[in-house]
Structure 1
Amino acid sequence: MRALWLMLGCCCLASCALFRPADPVTVDVVGIDPLPGQDLEVRMAVRLRLQNPNDTPIDYDGVALSLTVNDRPLAAGVSDQHGQVARYGEALITVPVSVSAFSVLRQAMGLAQSSGATSVPYVLHGKLGRGPWAAARFEERGSLDLNTWGAAY
């Protein structure tokens, strides 16, 4: 009986070595293009570059995004795209997002309240669906320089 328990323990330890943690997927916004909207909403196509720093491919089935600017929700979108990011590879995907008129109004009011601000923080949260029990979540943080952005337009 002891030999059976010892063998079972060795098998468990060996199987744990197979499940080493994977590095997170790197996601960068590489472009934003306008899409036709309806009534009081603005639609955009957000292009993302997914980079897989692991030695196994990552399959995904579905993408969800939400963008918060200046600690206020601005845009959200989903897509039922599916595909694979090759091992040590990258892929480009496009996710349509919607911005409501009320979100734009909230952002404008927030900027008016912080009139002396020279930059605005943003956070992009997202999720790559990887089956019924798994998802690869990602987050990109940064700030938008209002002086540079305003000068460009």
Structure 2
Amino acid sequence: MVSVEPLEGEGFELRMLVKLRIQNPNDSPLDFNGVSVAMDVQGKRFATGVSDAGGSVPRFGEMVVAVPMSISAFRVAGHVMGIVGQIMGGGTSEYHGKLAYTMTGKLAGPAFYSRQFKSTGEFTLPAKIFQSDS
């Protein structure tokens, strides 16, 4: 994941543009004609998206692809409540501002040839969230 940018949402939906870096460690080009992505945060589905972006990643090369993703406002509320519960001591372990994510997806290829991918990591929430003004 290269970056995340906000997009204009609709109704009870939030939107973001996720830029993914696709790396090809092979000795031949990787051709694709569509991308689908699902992002889980703290083990729960958070956002999904698809794009008809296509191209060819050169041998031993890379490229960046943008995928618009949708997030239900109800999902966001559920995640926030879970995090707040952990901060207030409701979780099984102390919360340190880090959120684990897993991104899975598929690069659709020509003639039913697709490549699955998975990436995991964590990101840190800003320290300001946990500071009290009192």
Shift of 1:135: 1.4
Q: Are positions 1:30 and 2:7 aligned together?
A: no
Partner of 1:8: none
Distance in structure 2 (CA, Å) of the matches to 1:135 and 1:114: 39
* Counterpart among 13, 16, 20 of residue 48 in structure 1: 20
Q: Structure 2: which amino acid aligns with 1:99?
A: I
Partner of 1:109: 81
Shift of 1:150: 3.4
Distance in structure 2 (CA, Å) of the matches to 1:71 and 1:88: 32
Q: Are positions 1:145 and 2:124 aligned together?
A: yes
Matches within 5 A, 1:1-153: 29-115=1-87, 116-118=94-96, 119-146=98-125, 149-151=126-128
Q: How many residues align?
A: 122
Shift of 1:83: 0.8
Shift of 1:134: 2.4
Q: TM-score with structure 2 length normalisation?
A: 0.84
Runs of 4+ with >4 A deviation: none
Answer yes or no: is the 8 Å Cα contact 1:72–1:106 preserved in 2: no
Q: Percent identity?
A: 38
Shift of 1:133: 2.9
SS in 1 for 2:76: helix
Larger deviation: 34-43 or 128-137? 128-137
Q: TM-score with structure 1 length normalisation?
A: 0.74
| Cα-to-partner distance string for 1:86-130 (whole Å, 9 max, x where unaligned) | 111111110000111111011012112222311221111111011
Distance in structure 2 (CA, Å) of the matches to 1:141 and 1:77: 17
Q: Structure 2: which amino acid aligns with 1:31?
A: S
Distance in structure 2 (CA, Å) of the matches to 1:58 and 1:75: 26
Largest Rg, 1 or 2: 1
Q: Structure 2: which amino acid aligns with 1:60?
A: F
Shift of 1:55: 1.0
